[in-house]
Every structure is written in structure tokens, then in C-alpha cells.
Amino acid sequence: MDRHGGDFKTVKVIEVPYSVVMPALDKGRIDVGATLQPYLSSALASGKVRIFADAYQAIAPHFAAVGWVATPTWAAANADTVRRFARVIRDAQTYCNAHRTETATILANHSGVDINTILHGGRETFSQTFAEPKELQPLIDVAAKYGAIEHRFDAAEVISPAIEALTR
């Protein structure tokens, strides 16, 4: 928005689950909504919406949008749990990327999106790495720029040493 003459301070942002963006657009409660797959494919297939802008590309071509948080004290005291958790998440992401057809039913059941839309529409691809600072930094930077956090910091500062070996 800022790159094209808009002012983010003039926009009222509300956070809602992705599953309610399309119904809110349909009822005129919102003018624009941000969503991701499989909800995006479902909304586009309806013919009622179009892509206004790619909000995620405005942050970076690739970044981590999800993370898990623990205090440094807890992570240090539970290093084995942290490593096992990170390994399971990484392995699950790898499996889901390699078995898109098999996991489509699970995604349909939990998202409410028609399985055919999932099979033939877009799907997110999970990262094959875990806790890479370069994947976390764009979100930290944009959060600092727009006041969601007080100041920018180096993403490497928030990654537990217990999982460093999994990031390579």
C-alpha cells in the first residue's frame, strides 16, 4: 500500500479466521480480505472475488509466517523436547509436501473447503527448513516498521541453540 501512494494509517485492520473472510466479503462487512490457500482457491472459484494485491509478496518473496515460542529458560531446560518438537514439525512438513493428494482429505476436513478445490487449486508449500533466521527476519522487520513491535531485532536472537543443528 505504501509503495503505491496509500497510507497504512488510514486502514482499519481486524483479524479474523481465514474461513470467515469470504462470508464477510459476501455480506459487505469488509471491503478487502487477506487469505491463503486453500481458502483463496475456493474464493476465486466462486467467481465473486478477485485478487486485489499480494500482501505476502509485499513482505518478502519467502518468509516464515508461523513460529513457536518458548522462554530461553524453558528451552534450555527442555532442550531434548525442543529438538524432538522441531524434528516432528520438519518431518510433517516434508511429508505433507510430498503427499499432497493423500493429505488433501485432511485439509478438506479441517478447512471446510471442497476437496476438489484443494486437489485442483492452490496449496501452500511448507518450508523444508526450521528456524532459519533469513525466513524469520522479513516478518520481524515489517512488524517493527508498522509498529506491531517496538523495535527491530536480529532473528537469530530468538532461535534456541537446541535446534541449531536442525537448521542446517
CB 106 within 8 A of CB 114: no
Domain regions of the chain by residue span: 2-59, 72-111+126-167
Residue 86: Cβ within 10 Å count: 19
Question: pTM score, two decimals?
Answer: 0.69
pLDDT at 130: 67
Q: What is the mean pLDDT of the chain?
A: 86
More confident site: 91 or 1 = 91
Name the percent of the chain lying above pLDDT 70: 95
Q: 115: Cβ–Cβ under 8 A, 6 or more apart, which residues?
A: 104, 105, 108
Q: What digits encode the pLDDT tens for the residues 39-75?
A: 888 888 889 888 888 888 888 988 888 778 888 889 8
